[in-house]
A = this chain, B = another copy of it.
Amino acid sequence: MAEAAGKVWHGGDLAQAKALFPEAPEPWIDLSTGINPIPYPVPALPLSLWQRLPGVRDEAALLAAARETYRVPETAGIVAAPGTQILIELLPCLANTGPVVVIGPTYAEHAVAWRKAGMDVRESATPAEAGDAGVVVLVNPNNPDGRVIERAQLTAVARDLAGRGGLLVIDEAFIDFMPEASLIPELPPATLILRSFGKTYGLAGLRLGFAIGEARLTEALRAALGPWAVAGPALHIGAQALSDTDWLAAAAGARASDAARLDALLASRGVIVGGTSLFRLLATPDAPALFAHLGRDGIYVRRFQNNASWLRLGLPGDEPSWQRLAAALASFLPPDAA
């Protein structure tokens, strides 16, 4: 089960699963990400979207849809990028006073990006422990444990940071199904909020993400990205999907049911730490053995570099996958029981 040393682990690459478990039955069931397995239906794409440089009007339509759905205040800025990840890479251009405190454990690439930029980065369990940070970064709801920090607490942190010229970064990648928790509508000063398109809409391959905040922040990111950053098809699909509030509401309900079903399957296998409607985090000392057991059955789940007792599971996308997962979980013999 070797992986490249020094590399940040991620879910979502089945080539890796196949390398780890070459004998596993196909097709693989990929539960290693928090991507909605029932995607927004990809509409027919006019050839011109592929042919032409992405147009200003197409981008404006996408941003208008995002403003509406994310409830972006009129005075705030918004910028679209080819995935949230590249925005994370660019965030260090927005701040030059550290230290950077990442509230974690959380999505590992945040700390990586700030360290790459030469900033001093440390991890705190809560924003209250961030001390004299110049930058506070948190994921809300958090990945992988689903913890939600209340808006009032976030606003206080933002005000505090604004007072000393700092920056609060809130990655709301998994908030679409619980929009009432978003800080966007009351956007505090010195705050930049990231939103991801691909997870909720099940289209992670399309690459689309957003940053929302004071215009000086979003304009700096826009300048760093340069023109035509988002592909034409992504502008088009994103605008259509983000305007489809009926789809979002239906998906929120369906995925919440799925998450409850997953919890029921996992309950006898450990403690469900938390999660969102797109993934659940299981804690058990048997995690390494369960990872291997599921892998040998062709089911790829997410393990963690810094916590060997955690496994994160996304949602199966069809009934046969649910059945295979249920059977695999039922047939697991913990090492000390074997």
Contacts and interface: CB of A to CB of B under 8 A. Distances in A.
Contacts of A230: 207
A237 B82 CA distance: 17
A89 B220 CA distance: 12
B53 A89 contact: no
A227 interface: yes
B233 A205 contact: yes
A72 interface: no
Contacts of A10: 53, 227
A198 B49 CA distance: 12
Contacts of A56: 13, 15-16
A30 interface: yes
A120 interface: no
A39 interface: yes
A12 B42 contact: no
A57 B228 contact: no
B42 A226 contact: no
Q: How many copies does the complex hold?
A: 2
Contacts of A48: 205
The listed residue with most B CB atoms (<10 A of its CB), out of A205, A224, A229, A230, is A205
Interface in A11-68: 11-16, 30, 33, 35, 37, 39, 42, 47-57
B86 A229 contact: yes
Contacts of A89: 224-226
A289 interface: no
A240 to B, nearest CB: 13
A111 interface: no
Contacts of A11: 53
Contact of A53 (B12, B37, B52, B88): B12
Given A113-B226, A226-B113, A207 B82 contact: yes
